Amino acid sequence: MKKIIIPILAALCLTGCELDETIYSSIYTEAFYKTAADAEKGLIAAYDPFADMYSGPAGTLIADFSDDQTYPRGVVGRNTLTLFTYDVNYTTQKSNSRTNESPQQIWASGYDGIEKANWIIAKVPDAVMDETRKKQIIGEAYFLRAFYHWMLTKNFGDVPIKTTPSYSEADAVVGKSPKAEVYKQIYADLDQAFAAGLPSYPAVDKGRPAKEVVNALYAKAALYNEEWAKALEKAQAVITSGKYSLMPDVRNVYKYDQEDAARIENMWAYEVDPISPGRSHQLVGLCGPAASGGPEYGRTTFGSMFAYMSFYKSFSTQDKRRQLLDTTYVDKTGKTVPQRSITPITTEGVLIKKYQDPVSTQGLIPNIPIFRLADMYLIAAEAEARLNGATPAAYGYINTVRKRAGLADLATGLSKDAFIEAVLQERAWEFFAEGDRWYDLTRTGKFLTVIPKAVNPVYPVRNVTAKNKYFPIPQDELNANPKLEQNPDWK
């Protein structure tokens, strides 16, 4: 308790009047994290930046609008990602009030989430509460800190590692660490999370990571860091846990009325609820036809996100995943609208059907997948091949995913490089519009050759350069943190 003397009042009343003031601020924590209720509330707060990251959803759109699968209608600054014309200020996004769709949102949400996770890790150990639950809460905070660091490093490369709370403004000023050190920290946090006794599916609460999800993030992080043995080990651990399985029909993973059943495969997602006020995202509106034209897509849609025709044509006609795209739609009168009339910006529009919500009037039902079991099979296939070539085990992993899609087994006898290329293509078909493909292209260096070919009448030229492998650190952050340096290619 701080005592403040008010001298004017003292002079007026001739006695020393004193006021007791309790100080509340973002760094005043002495009266919090004391009880079980405090710990639970603190954990909920650590998820809030995750929702900020995915409500735009910057967590998927910055990748999807950059890749060779999907593209935006060029409104409110969305085309700067597709054309690679964004700057270090993210000027266009800011001027159109679209920071929530920009890399700047990833940075801001990532470090907001890390800060909140750090307070839990530092303070909750002293809380008076059930020890088992306490351990789980701390473990979940370690998972979230690892996830936030991973989102930051895959988008910006070398980034600051933050593992202690900011007790003062000076504590928040931290310089960058090499990407290798960031991944080392991610692994350490995931080891802590795995040892924390998190429940396994189906005992886990919706939107929370199960114990197996810790390994899923570990596998994906190790894949991106080219630590193939680690990636294979962790992906295999998820697969052999027996807690998850692929849904028989891949289309049901995304159906609004199959959400609960889909959790058998959709291990961790950005969960939304059809309530107001509540968290939602834009993908239903972006992916559906303009002027809310297609009832099966959503009550309110804008026609602002499409798939490239070349990507649609890359699918086998036997591939069930192709049915998650469409070149026509049925309007409110029951009339079939042909492809040439889907959107006025091109006669080659292809609609995305992964985020349909025909029933909600408030909020949006479809979850955004982040870790699916199919990913673990394809991580295992790639990691096994990079370690040992196109072995029977590697074929077994990829063929599990292909079989579910309605495809024949992959041709045998492929070289190591050809097999890995087949896995990357399988990933493209499996995870389109889920914010995944761009990172496959950047981590393998293929973005410089693939992206210039991913063009259409809307975007006939796409001038990607080497510096676009990572996004520039927002200038606002550089201005606020004198220890922070811009990515070398963006200086």
- Domain assignment present for residue 20? The answer is no
Residue 345 has pLDDT above 80, yes or no: yes
- Residue 46 shares a structural domain with residue 188: yes
- Is the overall model pTM greater than 0.75, yes or no? yes
In sequence order, which residues have a C-beta less than 8 Å from that of residue 249 and are 6 or more positions away? 320
Residue 5 has pLDDT above 90, yes or no: no
- Domain assignment present for residue 429? The answer is no
- Residue pair 402/410 in contact (Cβ under 8 Å)? The answer is yes
Q: What is the pLDDT of residue 272?
A: 86
Q: What is the pLDDT of residue 130?
A: 97
242/238 Cα distance (integer angstroms): 8
Q: What is the pLDDT of residue 360?
A: 85
How confident is the prediction for the chain on average, in pLDDT?
93
Q: Which of 155, 182, 198 is the last residue of a domain?
A: 198
- Domain assignment present for residue 82? The answer is yes
- Domain assignment present for residue 150? The answer is yes
Question: Pick from 253, 340, 343, 251: which is nearest to 305 by CA?
Answer: 343
- Residue 57 shares a structural domain with residue 178: yes
Q: What is the pLDDT of residue 16?
A: 41
In sequence order, which residues have a C-beta less than 8 Å from that of residue 132 and are 6 or more positions away? 197
- Count how many domains the chain has: 2
- Residue 168 shares a structural domain with residue 302: no
- Residue 185 shares a structural domain with residue 329: no
Mean pLDDT of the 131-138 span = 98
Q: Which of 346, 366, 386 is the last residue of a domain?
A: 366
**Between 349 and 273, where is the model more confident?**
349
Q: Which domain holds residue 182?
A: 33-198
- Domain assignment present for residue 353? The answer is yes
- Residue 185 shares a structural domain with residue 295: no
**Between 221 and 361, where is the model more confident?**
221
* Residue 30 φ/ψ region, left for φ over 0, alpha for ψ in the -120 to 50 degree band, beta for the rest: alpha
- Residue 178 shares a structural domain with residue 304: no
Q: Which of 144, 171, 198 is the last residue of a domain?
A: 198
- Domain assignment present for residue 160? The answer is yes
Q: What is the pLDDT of residue 23?
A: 43
- Domain assignment present for residue 12? The answer is no
In sequence order, which residues have a C-beta less than 8 Å from that of residue 240 and are 6 or more positions away? none
- Residue 306 shares a structural domain with residue 158: no
174: CATH: 1.25.40.390
Model pLDDT for residues 369-424, shown as the tens digit of each residue:
999 999 999 999 999 999 999 999 999 999 999 999 999 999 999 999 999 999 99
